[in-house]
Amino acid sequence: MKQKILTKEIYMQAIGDSFKKMNPKTLIKNPVIFITGLGALITTFTLVAHGFNWFEFQISIWLWFTVLFANFSEAIAEGKGKAQAESLRKSRTHAVARLLKNKVETKINATELRKGDLVVCEANDIIPADGEIIEGLASVDESAITGESAPVVRESGGDRSAVTGGTRVLSDRIVVKISVDPGEGFLDRMISLVEGASRQKTPNEIALSLLLTALTLVFLAAVVTLKFFADYAGESVSIPVLVSLLICLIPTTIGGLLSAIGISGMDRLIQKNVIALSGRAVEAAGDIDILLLDKTGTITYGNRMASELIAAPNIGEKEMYRLSYLASMSDDTPEGKSIIEFAKNKYSELESLSLAPDREFVAFTAQTRMSGINMNGGKTQIRKGAVDAIEKFVVSLGGQMPEAIVRASENIARAGGTPLVVCENEHVFGVVYLKDVVKNGIRERFAELRRMGIKTIMITGDNPLTAASIAAEAGVDDFMAQATPEMKLKRIREEQEKGHLVAMTGDGTNDAPALAQADVGVAMNTGTQAAREAGNMIDLDSNPTKLIEIVETGKQILMTRGSLTTFSIANDVAKYFAIIPALFAGLYAVHHNDGPLSILNVMKLGTPESAILSAVIFNALVIVALIPLALRGVAYRSVGARALLQRNILIYGVGGLITPFIGIKLIDMLISAF
């Protein structure tokens, strides 16, 4: 999925597509640019009807360029999507399927498979179509879809049973039940979705288009009336000049970039390995104000980790660390490894204990619920395990559990942690505090979301006490403890009834109802087919924290659109001061500045003709200049709506006001010089 953003081929294709988009049926989808195209056509007809005029010829040419540049901005955004789609097409392999029917295998072409068919896949086989594993377990190479080279495990009966057509089985044997008909697979949907041309306009985009259309009609009416005012004042105003005024005053800048902004938004998600099943979902992500996040893997690391080693009374801290290290050497669980790391970070010399001779490892078992090591021919028995298991072990050797360790273990349990007691023979040396470790930086991320007006809700199956402890440490606004699928669905509906837009992640079949109900439902690619079909986004990396990035991308799209709209409308002020004085040049002495309208000639442009032409040229070139910003998006900032509005007005409003004055003046100087 990772590729160079823009290539020579994309540029050349976009240039060709710019001319193809001159078709009136295509142009009319963008009313602002359609009006610009009509204006260019009118000036061209006027030029032909009244004879060649160099000034009017230049106006006509630059109006056509304005339309082409607007088409180019959309075409280049679409070109990126088409390039990605072509890359996916090349990755698609037409596999031979081993159809299983009545326990008999038959080889057929993968295109002949239908929903409900069973196929067998073994090592080095290409999975012929999307489906669910109903038998077996296998290691699968999904690099053709996700771009990640590391294989993943897929197995029947769990939340990681979904497989994608075109991926390769690396080991073992699985039986897959096909879940789609030909042409309806995940890869087919990805190809159609990443092609920008198939993108549907979002509600906000439609609303903005209507606003731009209304502004265009208002300016059209104003320009038409100017013709009558000019005639009444005895001023001769040509049709090309009136058309120039109209095109410069209507919001052509944002009109030409609007589609590119929307298409590039989906493209930016694809760069993050997220497939949005609709443009509506991308935009909804920008309006989200409630985030539902799973605790495990999103807010905390997946496994409980050592956070404190508490020594028993009269036991030295270093001795407690040494015994905890030794007792965990045979423990290959994430918890055991975390104790090793925690102890080494405190006392680095403990690493030399790994070389100790005369040792016998005691592995953890479900029956004993403890692990450890025997040394000195079995005379020294070091153990680490559950409180009751260690107590039983110590008592059997004639010892007893210290009251301080019992109290410490109870306190850890009440705080939502897991206590593990460490002993040497009949002597108890201390307790290990295992807890869910909140990811580094997650509290700051939630603080950023809060500043944006987004409320975060943690979902967990833990008891309320544990959930409250983790929620407080992570800095989330609310939490749901012992959450069931019904509780998740109910909570989403309640928030939506209050007018909120809700986003959540999920990967299991039990998450499907909530994913379908959420305004933005991000399904993990490793999840079940039901989850992937219920969500309106699919994260190919299956990283639950990606939801935060998705929201930021949606916000960035809205920020980009708002910023460029502000810039476009502010442009009109400068263009007004360039063209209106030139339009009524006959009503005041331009060179002597003694006419009644001379106060409007603040830019002191060379001649009426150069003023009008400069404004038209600037109007065309500014679209090209802003294409990179539309594709890349404005810099994301986690600020509230009020601060964002102030920033837009300060940077893009004031900038949009000043830039045309400078640009038009420079173009006028060049025109006057030549």
Co-location of 566 and 669 in the same domain: yes
Co-location of 555 and 669 in the same domain: yes
Co-location of 339 and 422 in the same domain: yes
Cα–Cα distance, 135 to 121 (Å, whole number): 11
495 is in an annotated binding site: no
Task: Give tens-digit pLDDT for 20-38.
Answer: 889 888 888 888 889 999 9
Co-location of 636 and 573 in the same domain: yes
Question: What's the CATH number where 478 sits?
Answer: 3.40.50.1000
Over pLDDT 70: what percentage of the chain?
A: 85
Task: Give tens-digit pLDDT for 515-538.
Answer: 888 888 888 776 666 777 788 888
Cα–Cα distance, 10 to 13 (Å, whole number): 5
**Cα 129 from chain centroid?**
27
Task: Give tens-digit pLDDT for 343-389.
Answer: 988 888 887 776 566 788 888 776 788 889 998 888 899 999 889 89
**Cα 145 from chain centroid?**
17
331 is in an annotated binding site: yes
Cβ–Cβ < 8 Å for 515, 506: yes
Cα–Cα distance, 341 to 632 (Å, whole number): 42
371 is in an annotated binding site: yes
Q: Judge whether 488 lies within some domain.
A: yes
DSSP calls for 296-358: BTTTEEEEEEEEEEEEPTT--HHHHHHHHHHHHTT--SHHHHHHHHHHHHH-GGGGGGGG-SS
pLDDT band at 401 (very low <50, low <70, confident <90, very high): very high
pLDDT band at 474 (very low <50, low <70, confident <90, very high): confident
Domain ends where: 433, 459, 484? 433
Q: Judge whether 171 lies within some domain.
A: no
- Structural domain including 214 reads 8-83+194-269+551-673
For residue 223, the model assigns a pLDDT of 80
Co-location of 453 and 429 in the same domain: no
Cα–Cα distance, 71 to 22 (Å, whole number): 8
Place of tokens 């029956």: 367
Cβ–Cβ < 8 Å for 253, 567: yes
368 is in an annotated binding site: yes
Co-location of 536 and 644 in the same domain: no
Structural domain count, the chain:
3
Co-location of 468 and 484 in the same domain: yes
Co-location of 613 and 643 in the same domain: yes
Task: Give tens-digit pLDDT for 245-285.
Answer: 888 888 888 888 887 887 777 777 877 888 877 667 777 88
Q: Judge whether 132 lies within some domain.
A: no
Co-location of 16 and 36 in the same domain: yes
Beta bridge partners of 101: 104
Single pTM value for the model: 0.64
539 is in an annotated binding site: no
Task: Give tens-digit pLDDT for 553-594.
Answer: 888 888 888 888 889 888 877 787 777 776 665 554 444 445
Between 97 and 639, where is the model more confident? Answer: 97
For residue 195, the model assigns a pLDDT of 55
Residues with a known catalytic role:
294
* Cα distances (Å, whole numbers) of residue 146 to 6, 142, 271, 396, 524: 21, 6, 11, 54, 12
Domain ends where: 540, 562, 592? 540
365 is in an annotated binding site: yes
User: For residue 289, how many other CB atoms are within 10 A of its CB?
Assistant: 17
> What does DSSP assign to residue 130?
-
